[in-house]
């Protein structure tokens, strides 16, 4: 079966289990998850969906999220969209649509009752579409740096530098565009206002007694400028006569927002961005081990809640300022603790073939930094192993943070990847070999700490008695009793 046919088959298998095309109101995806807006949640067959080999787990939030893993989700999503578009749409009366809309609004309002949580989701929605470009440019930057250090291909390295730096030089424009789109304004106006920040001509302007510099304020300035532009535009739409709207509204939006950006936001956002970079450097230089321990230990709960994407603006600001983010390698240790915990669960439950199969299928993704399958399929349902996985991440983060205190900074030139997939993006203030060695050491510490904590403290006697059972035998007996064939069993572990 070709790759296209496989993706089409996957989409065809998922669609009926979420209530069919008629039950889907929206389709989107992030790095690992297919995000579906559903009209009727009760139509979803959760267990059947989780049983599909390609599905690593499900997460229920403001959208129904199916974890498919990186790469796969980007290929399956268009197939889902095609099936939904091709399905016949039932006719609805105005009353039906109004009732349906009211139900959807009520459900969404109940799930997003916290304004802060809704704001974080909006911020994440602005930056998530930028991740593929950040990854691609980051890897090219790493390759270019390696070639320069080796003295190879001197005629090619300037071209690679242009490819790696071009997107980062204009990232403020893309942030402004996405921000205006997310907050309900005209996207191109948000991009136009944000473009002021990176325009070279701002170097001739004085604000607060200081000469501005192109890029001052970075993505935070672009974010604030675009949000301001949205509010100015909405105000104009309400008060400008329709006959003049096409001329007056965009002009006033760019003019007012632009002046505030130049003579206010660029300076303020620049100070905030500088403070973020200085604080991160100070924290890791003076309390690196403790800070790494706390950050590595708390990151898994953020992933579980889907709020880890709200950290993207901070990562992006650090990359703009320093060329790499010092936080991501520390946070990546949370995935190492998860992997170590999963391996301990595998050994502690030798008779539970179902859980062991889940671990075997999810571990490769876990090593590459995709933690959702292990979180939602193994550690979180068991309870204690989720906590001990956090302990593993804490120790791994503390290890990397300790070296920051000793003057060996480890950073990532892009965001998105984690685990082993982060190796091509590593950078720091010392040689590449030393940077890789510190990061690899942190992963090993995270694996070992997560394993030890889970193996010795991850199971109570009651939990072990409940889950260390021969699920294959129970299923076989139930199947045979119903007259069906017995399922294949997990091989018995070797006895030492």
Q: Is 205 within 8 Å of 262 (Cβ atoms)?
A: yes
Tokens coding 65: 């999220």
| Torsion over CA: 239, 174, 179, 201 (sign) | negative
Cβ proximity of 226 and 164 under 8 Å: no
Q: Is 290 helix (H, G, I), strand (E, B) or coil?
A: helix
Q: Which helix (H) or strand (E) holds 453?
A: helix 432-457
475, containing H or E segment: helix 471-481
Tokens of 239: 């008060």
Residue the block writes with tokens 């090993």? 444
Residue 238 CA to residue 244 CA, distance in Å, equals: 12
Query: Which residue is associated with the tokens 């993505």?
Result: 219
For 35, the enclosing helix (H) or strand (E) is: strand 33-38
Whether the CB-CB separation of 400 and 333 falls below 8 Å is answered with yes
Task: Supply the DSSP string of 301-367, one letter for each residue.
Answer: HHHHHT-GGGGHHHHHHHHHHHSSBSSHHHHTHHHHHHHHHHHHHHHH-TT-HHHHHHHHHHHHHHH
Q: Taking phi first (over 0 means left), then psi (-120 to 50 degrees means alpha), and beta for anything else, what does residue 47 get?
A: alpha
| Three-state SS at 415 | coil
- Active-site position among 30, 137, 236, 390: 30
Indicate if the alpha-carbon torsion angle 269, 271, 273, 275 is positive or negative: negative
Q: Please give the Cα distance from 303 to 313 (Å, whole number).
A: 16
The answer to whether residue 30 is catalytic is yes
C-alpha distances in angstroms, 204 versus 152, 170, 266?
A: 39, 19, 14
C-alpha distances (whole Å) from 445 to each of 343, 441, 456 are 14, 6, 16
Which has the closest alpha carbon to 463: 401, 408, 384, 369? 384
**∠ CA 376-487-475 to the nearest 5 degrees?**
65
- DSSP codes joined into one string, 135-161: HHHHHHHHHHHHHHHHT--TTTHHHHH
**Number of H helices and number of E strands within the chain?**
22, 8
Q: For residue 2, give both structure tokens.
A: 């070709």
What residues are annotated to the active site? Answer: 30
């Amino acid at each position: 079966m070709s790759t296209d046919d496989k993706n089409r088959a996957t989409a065809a298998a998922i669609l009926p289990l979420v209530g069919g095309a008629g039950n889907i109101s929206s389709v989107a995806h992030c790095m690992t998850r297919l995000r579906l807006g559903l009209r009727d949640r009760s139509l979803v067959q959760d267990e059947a969906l989780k049983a599909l080999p390609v599905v690593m787990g499900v997460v229920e939030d403001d959208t129904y999220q199916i974890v498919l893993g990186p790469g796969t989700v980007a290929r399956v999503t268009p197939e889902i969209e095609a099936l939904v578009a091709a399905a016949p749409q039932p006719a609805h009366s105005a009353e039906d649509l109004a009732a349906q809309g009211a139900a959807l609004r009520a459900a969404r309002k109940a799930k997003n009752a916290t304004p802060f949580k809704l704001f974080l989701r909006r911020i994440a929605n602005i930056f998530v579409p930028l991740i593929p470009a950040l990854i691609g440019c980051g890897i090219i930057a790493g390759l270019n740096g390696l070639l320069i250090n080796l003295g190879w291909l001197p005629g090619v390295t300037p071209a690679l530098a242009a490819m790696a730096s071009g997107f980062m030089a204009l990232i403020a424009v893309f942030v402004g565009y996405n921000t205006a789109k997310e907050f309900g304004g005209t996207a191109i106006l948000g991009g136009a206002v944000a473009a002021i920040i990176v325009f070279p001509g701002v170097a001739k302007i004085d604000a607060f007694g200081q000469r501005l510099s192109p890029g001052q304020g970075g993505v935070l300035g672009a974010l604030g400028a675009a949000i301001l532009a949205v509010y100015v535009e909405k105000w104009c739409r309400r008060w400008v006569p329709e006959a003049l709207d096409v001329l007056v509204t965009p002009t006033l939006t760019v003019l007012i927002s632009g002046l505030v950006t130049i003579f206010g936001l660029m300076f303020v956002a620049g100070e905030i961005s500088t403070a973020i970079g200085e604080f991160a450097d100070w924290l890791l230089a003076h309390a690196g081990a403790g800070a790494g321990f706390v950050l590595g230990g708390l990151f898994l709960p953020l992933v579980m809640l889907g709020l880890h994407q709200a950290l993207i603006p901070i990562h992006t600001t650090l990359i703009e300022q320093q060329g790499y983010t010092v936080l991501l390698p520390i946070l990546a240790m949370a995935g190492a603790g998860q992997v170590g915990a999963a391996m301990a669960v595998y050994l502690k439950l030798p008779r539970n073939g179902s859980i062991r199969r889940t671990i075997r299928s999810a571990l490769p993704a876990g090593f590459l930094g995709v933690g959702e399958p292990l979180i939602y399929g193994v550690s979180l349902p068991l309870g204690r192993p989720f906590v001990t996985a956090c302990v593993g991440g804490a120790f791994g983060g503390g290890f990397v943070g300790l070296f920051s205190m000793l003057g060996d900074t480890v950073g990532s030139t892009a965001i998105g990847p984690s685990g082993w997939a982060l190796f091509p993006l590593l950078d720091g203030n010392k040689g590449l070999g030393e940077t890789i060695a510190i990061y690899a050491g942190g992963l090993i510490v995270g694996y070992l700490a997560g394993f030890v904590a889970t193996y010795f403290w991850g199971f109570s006697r009651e939990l072990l008695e409940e889950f260390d059972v021969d699920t294959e035998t129970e299923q076989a007996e139930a199947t045979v009793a119903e007259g069906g064939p017995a399922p294949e069993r997990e091989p018995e572990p070797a006895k030492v």
